Structure 1
Amino acid sequence: MGLIRKIKLLCDEKKVTFAEVERKIGISNGQIRRWDNSSPKVENVKKVADFFNVSTDYLLGRTEYKHLDEPITIAAHHVGEEWTEEELEEIERFKDFVRTKRKEHPQKGK
């Protein structure tokens, strides 16, 4: 889904128009609709994201998660398997590694 379509959906949810968003974030009238034919300035995308309280990655289609803090649950069940203390420590180290990568590259891979 493209940037304009996402903004339109957010406008519908919040019951505002493009013009109202533009006025409130301080960009020129009609600017958002022109993004269909030109690339918006990064700063303006940030302003729109802040207005709707969503991530820029969500607006740009890099993730389906609207908010940076949406929880992601990963679960694994291994029925009948016994884990050694060393294996459990390895799993914890891997979880820490993933958390570190998340901090370095927020929303990457979603």
Structure 2
Amino acid sequence: MTLFERVKETSNNRGWSLQQTAQKAGLGINSLYSWKKKRPSVERIQAVADVLNVSVDYLIGNTDNPIPAPKTGSHKPTDLADEDIILSFEGKQIPPEDLETIRRFLRGGKDEHKR
């Protein structure tokens, strides 16, 4: 699988178009399509890997494990309400309906709309 194919597949798994992925990574809206024919810079691959929450090694085909290695000293709080954050458990993305169940549990069983 090529770099472009992995980016496309991973974006689709997140429910994003390639244009959305490019925008979230701070790239031009159609720049990912150019990856079909030419290799982008390491910085651009890293930006897309960060947005997709996968490793660069996964995107370039060095591994089939998409989980990025933890960055030392770069831990920051993540809010479950942030829709742009991809949360995973045991290497698999947590489905939106399960995230809502987790959110409800953390609110003490209260439905967000009934606050």
Structure 2 residue runs without a partner (length 5+) = 70-115
Aligned Cα root-mean-square deviation (Å): 1.1
Query: CA separation in 2, counterparts of 1:23 and 1:4?
Result: 16
Give the number of aligned pairs. 69
Q: TM-score, normalised by structure 1?
A: 0.59
Q: 1:30 to 1:57 in 2, by over 3 A?
A: same
Structure 2 equivalent of residue 45 of structure 1? 45
Residue 21 of structure 1 deviates from its aligned partner by: 1.0
- Which structure shows the higher helix fraction? 1
Q: Tell me if the contact between 2:53 and 2:68 (Cα under 8 Å) persists in the aligned partners.
A: no
Which amino acid in 1 is paired with 2:4? I
Residue 31 of structure 1 deviates from its aligned partner by: 0.7
Instruction: Write out the 4+ residue segments of structure 1 that deviate beyond 3 Å after TM superposition.
Output: none
Residue 68 of structure 1 deviates from its aligned partner by: 3.6
Structure 1 residue runs without a partner (length 5+) = 70-110
Which of the pair has the greater relative contact order for Cα pairs under 8 Å at 6+ separation?
Answer: 1
Residue 23 of structure 1 deviates from its aligned partner by: 1.1
Structure-to-structure mapping, 1:1-110, within 5 angstroms: 1-69=1-69
Q: TM-score, normalised by structure 2?
A: 0.57
- Percent of aligned positions with the same letter in both sequences? 29
Larger Rg: 1
